[in-house]
Amino acid sequence: MEFISKYKRYIESVLWVLIIVFAVQVFNSVNAPIKFNEVKNERYLKVIDKLKDIRNAQIAYKSVIDTAQYTLIQKRDSSYMKYDRVYRIDMLQEVVVIDTLGFASVKDSLFGSSDRYKSMAEVPIDGVDQMFAIKADVIDKNGYNVPVFEVRVSKDAILFDQNKDLLKQEKALKSVDGVNGPDLVLGSMSEVSTNGNWPTTYDAIARN
């Protein structure tokens, strides 16, 4: 008892330090996943926006988008009178006339006045100096030659500076409302697809 009385204040100080340490650890254990998810969602949205640009460019034209053009056309109904040799009278003929109005740059149609297409292949995360892994090929699908493409970037690159344990859990994720697997992927090299492996909740938030 005399020992406890003598060192009471010291013991209380140590206990308070331990309480504070444990409180910080509890706070971090709760707060760390929240902050991780905030950073993850913000970065995924940036990457998905880029992947959508790549998808639009792939669908629009498989060439240099600076010079490629769309043909702008207008369809209209028309009619004229034509002499019918069988009935020996003029008869009304109906036709569809297709007018060529001009040409529009694929680049302008997809990106407007923005020059973001110039950095389209770059992963849009600060601190990451990396390009998307892009593949393209032609595969046989039921006797038809079909062009396919795939764009991929690893979660390791997107979340390179985040908690490693939480990153490991994210890479092993299997969920209907999450991005499953170790990568964000657009398209497929084995299937005819222009879809990404992210849930539609990201599409609702990301820039269309």
The number of domains in the chain is: 1
Is 168 within the bounds of a domain?
Answer: yes
User: Which token pair is 119?
Assistant: 């950095």
Is 38 within the bounds of a domain?
Answer: yes
Is 56 within the bounds of a domain?
Answer: yes
DSSP states of 56-124 as a string?
HHHHH-SS-TTT-EEEEEEEEEEEEEEEETTTTEEEEEEEEEEEEEEEEEHHHHHHTT--GGGGTTB--
Domain that holds residue 170: 32-62+113-205
Instruction: List pLDDT tens digits, range 181-203.
Output: 999 999 999 998 989 999 988 88
Is 74 within the bounds of a domain?
Answer: no
Is 53 within the bounds of a domain?
Answer: yes
Q: Cα–Cα distance between 188 and 62 in angstroms, integer?
A: 16
Is 150 within the bounds of a domain?
Answer: yes
Give me the percent of the chain exceeding a pLDDT of 70: 66
Is 163 within the bounds of a domain?
Answer: yes
Q: Cα–Cα distance between 32 and 27 in angstroms, integer?
A: 8
pTM equals 0.67
pLDDT over 60 (residue 72): no
Is 9 within the bounds of a domain?
Answer: no
